[in-house]
Amino acid sequence: MLTALFIGLGSIGTRHLKNLTAICAQRGLALRADALRSDLARPLRPGAAELLHSQFTTLQDSAALPHYDLAFITNPTSLHAQALEEIRGLADALFIEKPIVSAEQTDVDLATLLPAGQKAYVAAPMRWCGTMLALKNHLPSLRPYSARVICSSYLPDWRPGVDYRTVYSAHKALGGGVTIDLIHEWDYLVDLFGVPETICNIRGKYSDLEIDSDDLSIYIAQYPTLLAEVHLDYFGRTYRRSIELFCKDGSCVADFGAGTLTLPNGAVEHYEEDVNERYLREMNYFLDYAAGEETESLNPPATALQVLKLTLGEQQ
């Protein structure tokens, strides 16, 4: 039997719980999923409770196991470090939601949170979407000179039926703000091109949204062979998420919202799919990684912390 502990069951934690359950069923694996929660009286998202074996507020509870195969750190970003300390050494493999820690904790010593040799993967779902996988396949032949990245969306539309002013994204103290909330863009840029030599970031609160976190973040980054521009915002009324590469033979545009890849010769490749497909690919990878011999994951904590520092505009 595969055992898993979830710390935090908001929207993303519930998605991971449902995907883990579905994939285990496909693989013929028996699953026991428990939840360490801050408040048992708070209602869970639809479909979550029936997938859980036990719920408790402390690991000293008699319902908690002494050790788990997997642990999912899916609580608010500001509580990740505390959760990692609490379960230190109690799980074989960790799935840590992004960002790994909050913006105020970038000086954390990972050795104090993770035992030596701890298997750990930090979420990077954009790497697993069909359009991104196709772009990576074409990248060696593109020879880009410049990259222009945008992720623009309207925060009040993120979670239908939920007051945007109450979610962590709206509050800096909870780890919110477009700069780290949309860390996906820097994660995939580092995956595609590595760490830039120089980076400049200007960010702040500019719109009329009723939030105290930053809603606009702009970057210029210098690589040995290209420059990159990155635009992130919470106030775009039309959803846009793409990367445009200006290359020797023309432009290549990966439109993640539309699920298309337009090549320099004008050909358009189609990778339209439900957004959950990327999370399913990611979960399949994580289960394979957890069961395998490799200690270091495709996105280890040290790399994730470096990306967080880049996202915050900290010079490396």
Q: What is the CATH number of domain 130-272?
A: 3.30.360.10
Contact by Cβ (8 Å): 77, 175: yes
Q: What is the mean pLDDT of the chain?
A: 95
CATH placement of domain 2-123+280-300? 3.40.50.720
From residue 206, alpha-carbon distances to 77, 178, 212, 264, 310 in Å are: 23, 12, 11, 35, 22
Residue 232: per-residue pLDDT: 98
CB 39 within 8 A of CB 11: no
Return the pLDDT at 315: 55
Question: Shortest CA distance to 108 belongs to which of 133, 77, 136?
Answer: 77
The closest of 23, 88, 104 to 96, measured between CA atoms, is 88
The residue with tokens 């992130």 is 232
Q: What is the reported pLDDT for 198?
A: 94
Model pLDDT for residues 201-246, shown as the tens digit of each residue:
999 999 999 999 999 999 999 999 999 999 999 999 999 999 999 9
**Amino acid residing at 4:** A
Contact 126, 231 (CB under 8 A): no
Q: Which of 198, 241, 283 is nearest to 26 (CA)?
A: 283
pLDDT at 100: 94
Cα 180 to Cα 309: distance, rounded to the nearest angstrom = 10
Q: Are 125 and 282 in contact (CB under 8 A)?
A: yes
Computed on alpha carbons and rounded to an integer, the radius of gyration of the chain in Å comes to 20
Residue type, 84: L
Q: For the chain, what is the HEC assignment? A: CEEEEEECCCHHHHHHHHHHHHHHHHHCCCEEEEEECCCCCCCCCCCCHHHCCEEECCCCCCCCCCCEEEEEECCCHHHHHHHHHHCCCCEEEEEECCCCCCHHHCCCCHHHHCCCCCEEEECCHHHHCHHHHHHHHHHHHCCEEEEEEEEEEEHHHCCCCCCHHHCHHHCHHHCCCHHHHCCHHHHHHHHHHCCCCEEEEEEECCCCCCCCCCCEEEEEEECCCCEEEEEEECEEEEEEEEEEEEECCEEEEEECCCCEEECCCCCEEECCCCCHHHHHHHHHHHHHHHHCCCCECCCCHHHHHHHHHHHCCCCC
Per-residue burial over 58-81, b if 16 or more Cβ lie within 10 Å, else e, is ebeeeebbeebbbbbbbbbbbbbb
C-beta separation of 170 from 211 below 8 A? yes
According to the model, what pLDDT value does residue 103 have?
A: 84
Residue-level pLDDT at 168: 82
User: Exposure string (b/e) for 181-219, b if CB count within 10 Å is 16 or more?
Assistant: bbbbbbbbbbbbbebbeebebebebeeebebebbbbbeb
Low pLDDT (below 50) residues in the chain: none
| Domains of the chain, residue spans | 2-123+280-300, 130-272
